[in-house]
Amino acid sequence: MDVVPKLPIGEWMEGFVEVLGQYKGVLFDPVSIVISTMVTYCSTVLAEIPSLILILLLGAAAWVFAGRASMVFTVVGLSLIHNLGYWDETMETLGLVLTATMISIAIGIPVGILCARYDTFRNLVTPILDLMQTMPAFVYLIPAIFFFGLGEVPGVIASVIFALPPIVRLTNLGIRQVPAEMEEAADAFGATGWQKLVKVQLPYAKSTILAGVNQCIMLALSMVVIAAMIGAKGLGADVYRAVSQVDIGRGFEAGLSIVIIAIVLDRLTQHAGKKERNI
Amino acid sequence: MPKMKVYQLTKVFGKQPELALKLLAEGRTKEQIYKQTGQSIGVNQVSFEVEEGEIFVIMGLSGSGKSTLIRLCNRLIDPTSGSIEIDGEEIVDMKASALREVRRKKLGMVFQNFALFPQRTVRENVEFGLEIQQVPPGLRQEKAREALALVGLTEWENAYPDQLSGGMRQRVGLARALANNPDILLMDEAFSALDPLIRKDMQDELLELQMTMKKTILFITHDLHEALRLGDRIAFMKDGQIIQIGRPEEIMADPADEFVRKFVEDADLSRVLVAENVMKRAEAITPDKGARVALQLMMDNGVSSLYVVDKKRTLLGLITAYDVSLAIGTGDSLETIMKTDLPTVSPDARLHSLFPMMADLHVPIAVVGEQQRLLGVIVKGAVLGGLVGKVNVQEHQRAEVMSDGRRA
């Protein structure tokens, strides 16, 4: 086994990160500014809305998209969070999750479309997606801190890395599931590639893609505690602090708030795709 | 000029189509080439012409290459070699944008499994072809409604495809293809997914629509009865090749080989053959002749009755030998003794529609064309003869499978 000397993969990676670090000002600072602006904007807007109104708005949305039971759960659950005193932290967490989701959608859907169109591209992307989902988050947090500093930006980056793959995978799957005859119909009537995508493939794949978005939100939410370890604010920070101080009560309350948010977001997005066809 | 002209069209599925083409040119068979190169020949040097306003049926079993062939015609599949001309315009080497124009303006397609868009309403489905041509919404809705009215689905325009039955869905498919007002309809096993009774309704409806629309229709099917019902001409396909092209009655009467013969053996001839195919020459006389002449004519021809016609061969009546022999005694003219209440049929009446008529008749049935012109006569013996394959196929309508030299 010792015939081959140890491969210096670790050294290569360090060298690679170092080279990237030299171009930090060009490569990462613009990204950092965009992300922190988005997070701040989302959190501020959410925090500005009076809590009662936001609870009612989300309740109404739950009623429209997911029915009465979900509406009741949303109103009661969010009121409970408010009562426990985690409202501001919840808004910060939502800001983080929304930002990570928007970035994931913006990258994931186009990449998924390309995967569906070109087999070679998909074969190239699939192992990268596997890597993103299985590589322990702490491993890529180290370079993320190096590039983006502490705070919510590396938190969002970590969330995107973890939450992006399902959108790519399900967009690819959704488009590949469009029946061949339906694509032929689009071609036979003289549709351009773009028209076929927008008028036939994406509408057909919509519910699958939305399932990907739903998964993406859930995964982003699951990253909030890890994000908190590198300085992101929100409910994750409370959980993290409770862990380090062995504060059972506080940990449970913050954890419960995360669960409530997760269920509310899940119900809202899970049914959004299906609702309009039940006429 | 034919509406559509396909010449030596070939499709090879595989990585080295040139090699397969070379072997084909050397006269190797599909199997030999598959064994030698692993490439399969989907469509093998197929040539045919479709005339304007004709329903041209391509008939074959699964794997015969018929679905590939229809997809080559609008280049959903690109041919390996050969040519396809539509209105004299070659489409095989056409650029993508020009091809799109041809697909938008000239070709409509109907699919076996309907291929409707589930997230669109019936009307939005029908609008699809116009929508991608950027026709303004008001106009395309109007055209879509017209097309839906043609197929009798006006009230369903706001329904979704999954709310419709199979037959209704295919009507939407047909309306979608008609909304663009294309010259040519490509119908790929359009009715095969439907129940037999509904299939028959749809066939009738297509024939009815065709009477007014006069589209050029290329229709693919594996169902011989469908082919015989719909086709003005039928092309038989096997192993990627066309074996025989001809009118239904020609194929029934004169199958090109054992394969076609086996196929048509099961067909009910009475639903294929028409009066014209089995009629005999009608013996006739003009009314100014006397009874004696009539009797002599009957004896000469060995018949017991004669049709009375005027100079333009318009049918006036029928005289029998018995009446004529009486008239010789009384001196009555032929016009006074002839029967005028005669059974007549048009030359394109199907034989099976004649059976009930013939059952209670003792006189032959006259075949008359326009303005009651006498064309022939149908006697029982001739009908039975037709059912066992003795039919009149005129020389000029004989089956013609085009040979290589035809194009020049």
The DSSP annotation for A9-32 comes to HHHHHHHHHHHHHHTHHHHHHHHH
Whether pLDDT at B117 is above 90: yes
What residue in A sits closest to B118 (Cα-Cα)? A204
State the Cα–Cα distance between residues A78 and B184, nearest whole angstrom: 61
State the Cα–Cα distance between residues B348 and B380, nearest whole angstrom: 17
Whether B79 contacts chain A with CB within 8 A: no
Q: Give residue B403's pLDDT.
A: 36
Among A83-97, A120-134, B327-341, where is mean pLDDT lowest?
Answer: B327-341
Whether pLDDT at B405 is above 60: no
Stated as kind and residue range, the H or E segment containing B16 is none
Among the partner-chain residues B107, B113, B132, the one whose CB lies closest to the CB of A195 is: B132
| More confident site: B295 or A199 | A199
Averaged over B195-208, what is the pLDDT? 86
| More confident site: B302 or A58 | A58
What residue in B sits closest to A274 (Cα-Cα)? B119
Instruction: For B231, list phi and psi in degrees, rounded to 5.
Output: -75, 130
Residue of A189, A198, A206, A277 to mutate for B, most B C-beta atoms under 10 A: A189
Length in residues, chain A? 279
Q: Give residue A272's pLDDT.
A: 66
Q: Give residue B358's pLDDT.
A: 77
Whether pLDDT at A238 is above 80: yes
- Mark yes or no for CB contact A204/B119 under 8 Å: yes
Contacts of A199 in chain B (CB under 8 A): 117, 128, 131-132
- Mark yes or no for CB contact A189/B129 under 8 Å: yes
Whether B68 contacts chain A with CB within 8 A: no
Beta pairing, strands B184-188 & B216-221: parallel
Q: What ipTM does this complex have?
A: 0.78
- Mark yes or no for CB contact B131/A199 under 8 Å: yes
Q: Give residue B389's pLDDT.
A: 59
Whether pLDDT at A147 is above 70: yes
> Using one digit for the tens of pLDDT, what is the confidence trace for A17-56?
888 888 877 888 888 889 989 988 888 888 888 989 999 9
Tokens of A279: 């006429």
The DSSP annotation for B144-175 comes to HHHHHHHTT-GGGTTS-GGGS-HHHHHHHHHH
Among A94-98, A163-167, B31-35, B112-116, where is mean pLDDT lowest?
Answer: B31-35
Q: Give residue B353's pLDDT.
A: 80
- The candidate with the shortest Cα–Cα distance to A84, out of A238, A213, A207, is A238
Whether pLDDT at A205 is above 90: yes
State the Cα–Cα distance between residues B48 and B242, nearest whole angstrom: 9
By CB neighbour count within 10 A (0-12 exposed, 13-18 middle, 19+ buried), where does A240 fall? buried
Q: Give residue B282's pLDDT.
A: 83
Predicted confidence band at A274 (pLDDT cuts at 50, 70, 90)? low
What residues does B366 pair with on adjacent strands?
B344, B377
Can you state the percent helix, strand and coil of chain B, rounding each to 5?
Answer: 45, 25, 35
CATH number of the domain located at residue range(s) A23-275 in this protein = 1.10.3720.10
B222 close to B60: Cβ distance less than 8 angstroms: yes
Q: Give residue A43's pLDDT.
A: 86
Stated as kind and residue range, the H or E segment containing B50 is strand B40-50
> Using one digit for the tens of pLDDT, what is the confidence trace for B118-132?
999 999 999 999 999
Tokens of A163: 């939450």
Whether pLDDT at A279 is above 50: no
Whether B98 contacts chain A with CB within 8 A: no
B348 close to B276: Cβ distance less than 8 angstroms: yes
Whether A117 contacts chain B with CB within 8 A: no
Predicted confidence band at A75 (pLDDT cuts at 50, 70, 90)? very high
Q: Give residue A270's pLDDT.
A: 81
Predicted confidence band at B408 (pLDDT cuts at 50, 70, 90)? very low
Whether pLDDT at B204 is above 90: no
Averaged over A188-214, what is the pLDDT? 93
Whether pLDDT at B397 is above 60: no
Considering only CA atoms, give the Rg of chain A.
Answer: 21
Q: Give residue B392's pLDDT.
A: 60
Q: Give residue A135's pLDDT.
A: 87
Contacts of B71 in chain A (CB under 8 A): 184
Contacts of B101 in chain A (CB under 8 A): 190
Residue listed under structure tokens 């006269």: B27
Whether pLDDT at A146 is above 50: yes
Q: Give residue B188's pLDDT.
A: 93
Averaged over A130-150, what is the pLDDT? 85
Residue listed under structure tokens 């370890």: A229
Whether B160 contacts chain A with CB within 8 A: yes
Q: Give residue B391's pLDDT.
A: 61
Whether A200 contacts chain B with CB within 8 A: yes
Whether pLDDT at B395 is above 80: no
Predicted confidence band at B400 (pLDDT cuts at 50, 70, 90)? very low
> Using one digit for the tens of pLDDT, what is the confidence trace for B239-258?
899 999 998 888 887 888 88
Per-chain mean pLDDT for chain B: 85
State the Cα–Cα distance between residues B298 and B306, nearest whole angstrom: 7
| More confident site: A126 or B373 | A126
Selection from B132-141, B270-279, B354-363 with the highest mean pLDDT: B132-141
The DSSP annotation for B267-305 comes to S-GGGT-BHHHH-BPPPEE-TTS-HHHHHHHHHHHT-SE
Answer positive or negative: Cα dihedral of B307, B308, B314, B316. negative
Q: Which CATH superfamily is domain B276-387 in?
A: CBS-domain (3.10.580.10)
Q: Give residue B232's pLDDT.
A: 92
Averaged over B147-170, what is the pLDDT? 91
Q: Give residue B270's pLDDT.
A: 74
State the Cα–Cα distance between residues B262 and B246, nearest whole angstrom: 16
